[in-house]
Amino acid sequence: MLTLGSGHQIHSRTDGLCHWGAIRIPAEELSQYARALSGGSFGLPPVARWRPQRAALRQLRHLHQAAVRTAKAQSGVLADKEAVHGLEQQIIHALVESLSPGPVDEETETACRHRHILARFEVLLEAHPLASTTEIGAALGVSDRMLRECCRKSLGMGPSRYRRLRGMQLVYYTLRHEDPAVASVSAVARRYGFLNLGRFATSYRALYGELPSATLRRHPRIAELTLGRPRVKVS
């Protein structure tokens, strides 16, 4: 489990498929519940990793899944306030039980500094997707070596590779939502810094298993228009 305080950002990577679940609760409210249940003090670090006991974690996951099912079932319908409140109380209780052993890994000052550098790195990439890593490092006020170290430790790759992968994801998302009648693959690719279109297409196909033009053709509007035509598979 990870706890993340208000206003904090983290990066997490996985080597395979994963599922995330989130619970949002004001820190002071959680502390009050914890003190009431345990009778002792309770501190919540801004960023920390926890390893709950299996029974407590299993109960928390069970209640979290119940909350998700309730939210889906009650979509657009007035839910039973008492039932929802009761489920909420059970979740908070299970959350406190899961956190009661204490964190197994609290963030160090160095890790905190690296995390803030990466958060600003993300902001700069959002605002200036074509900026070079040297320009980004200068804007952040850190050396190329420091930026590479932060990215390698938190992202598992250097800043240049991360920027390319991030740009590739933005291209994929844009192609999925652009109207192929007015959009072009080359324009979208150049928008996110891919100037060598042949190399871009090869990398894109290796990452997504199809050419970018095929992604563009799978626009929802095109899928709707092709429904009912013979030998056309709509995904």
Answer yes or no: do 187 and 234 share one domain: yes
pLDDT tens column, 74-104: 655 545 778 888 888 999 999 999 988 888 8
Is 120 in the same domain as 148?
yes
pLDDT at 232: 35
Are 14 and 100 found together in one domain? yes
Check whether residue 6 and residue 101 sit in a common domain. yes
Range of the domain at 9: 2-106
Give yes or no: residues 142 and 170 share one domain.
no
At 221, the pLDDT band (50, 70, 90 cuts) reads low
Instruction: Provide the domain count of the chain.
Output: 3
Q: Are residues 135 and 162 in the same domain?
A: no
Whether 184 and 219 map to the same domain: the answer is: yes
CA-CA distance, 87 to 35, in Å (whole number)?
20
Q: Cα separation of 185 and 211, whole Å?
A: 10
Q: Are residues 23 and 116 both part of a single domain?
A: no
Whether residue 231 sits in one domain with residue 177: yes
pLDDT in tens, 28-72: 888 888 888 877 777 788 888 889 999 999 999 999 998 888 877
- Mean pLDDT for 182-210 is 92
Using CB atoms within 10 Å of the CB of residue 12, give its burial: 0 to 12 exposed, 13 to 18 middle, 19+ buried: exposed
